[in-house]
Amino acid sequence: MRTIGVVVKRGRDQAIDLAKKLVAWLHDHHLEALIEPEHCSQIGGTAADKTAMIDRADLIVVLGGDGTLLSVARLMEKRPVPILGVNLGGLGFLTAITTEELYPMMERIIAGRLSIDQRLTLAVTLWRAGSACSQHQVLNDAVINRGVLSRIIDLETTVDGHDLCVYKADGLIVTTPTGSTAYSLSAGGPIVHPSLDVMVLSPICPHTLTNRPIVLPGTAVVRVKIRAPDEEVVLTLDGQDGIKLNNEDVIELRKGQMGVPLVQSATRQYFDVLRNKLRWGER
């Protein structure tokens, strides 16, 4: 391991201060540090944007929260680079490493003793007028939902070419196991262990009581056709990127060809994170 990318949460002084110390530590261990250009003057290191980091780095350290980690993971479509997420005070379900654990973890990683958890992604394709006009990758979820002033929308949904149903709802969440503890959980979806090869469809405020979340195999191809000629509909990717949809647009979702490798804590397991972050199982 020779090159480490460091991504910091924007507008967070704690992240900048920690990054300065980390870059100095990396230098002392004869490792090159790649830093986003806008932070190089404050932190040091070699300037590289996120895409360049993914091309060059052996490891990417994310200092911030889950949103910052997701912004890196969505770009990882050709080369899977291990991501070490360090939580700086928020919920941090994906960035599960504490600041106190950072340097012991780095010592283990440099020594080759790292535990990797391969996370499934979703490939999301927007079809408009019969043509694929954009393609995306998400680690958490893709959400189709109505605008603020819109009414209930119709989402004509098929699985592997077979009719599933027409969701009459505020929207639909299609999530990976990793994203099952995010928006989908708030909409009544199940918690899914990240080792499973599945995806979950969770309707948002469905008009019909029988429309409930459904778990599909990872081999499934889901197509959702928008039936909302007079309503505003938006596709949101990992809660960060939004795309305005047209009536009769089709969203195709399938397992991504490239997974995202997350470095796991040496002392904390998935169920520990559930209990600590979500207070899961408490009375």
Catalytic residues: 66
Lateral strand order in the sheet of 83-87? 46-47, 32-35, 3-8, 59-64, 83-87, 260-264, 115-119
Which residues are CB-neighbours of 27 under 8 A, at least 6 positions away? 33
Q: In this structure, what is the dihedral angle of CA atoms 266, 271, 277, 281, given to the nearest 10 degrees?
A: -150
Pairing assessment for the beta strands 222-227 and 250-255 based on DSSP bridges: antiparallel
Per-position DSSP letters for 73-135, written without gaps between them: HTT-SSS---EEEEE-SS--SS--B-GGGHHHHHHHHHTT--EEEEE--EEEEEEETTEEEEE
Helix (H, G, I), strand (E, B) or coil at 41: helix
